[in-house]
Amino acid sequence: MIYLFKDGIGYQQFPEPAPGSSPYLEVTGTTEQRILNGDRYRLVSNGEVIEFPTQAEIDAEDAAAALAAERASMVVSRFQARAALLQNNLLDTASGAIAQADAMSQLAWEDAQEFRRNSPLVNSIGGALSLTDEQLDDLFRLAQTIEV
């Protein structure tokens, strides 16, 4: 038997409850074995029910996490960003969108040494250019290949 305890961040697994520990779930049988074997699980119904995701759900979660990590690491120089936009015939349109933007966005466009994929400015420009998240990702991937 194992117990899952709510710790403020998530649930932690322990072999037995500490005095006064609550809330916790008592886990036995095949559910216990699956958790001990490292199967992914989630708590639903306000933490009262343990549910095991399907392989398709696990694959989707992994893909989403990998994409989020990739986006967080996408950083390109000012030159690379503008060159990628130029190669996709979007530089003039982006410059026009920035001309209509607030002063801080204009300052960032003119003076930033690098652009980050997850930045509000990049997402704003992407929206102004009617680019999907996937198209922005592809622009950053292209930009990362451009060398001076």
Residues 6+ apart with CB under 8 A from 35: 2, 13, 27, 41, 50
pTM: 0.73
Classified as helix, coil or strand, 37 is coil
Q: Where are the alpha helices (DSSP H) in 25-132?
A: 29-36, 55-73, 78-87, 91-99, 103-111, 120-128
pLDDT score recorded for residue 7? 55
Yes or no: say if 61 and 54 are a contact pair by the CB < 8 Å rule: no
How large a percentage of the chain has pLDDT more than 90? Answer: 62
Distance, CA of 126 to CA of 32 (rounded, Å):
47
Task: Give the tens place of pLDDT for each residue, 79-111.
Answer: 999 999 999 999 999 999 999 999 999 999 999
Classified as helix, coil or strand, 119 is coil
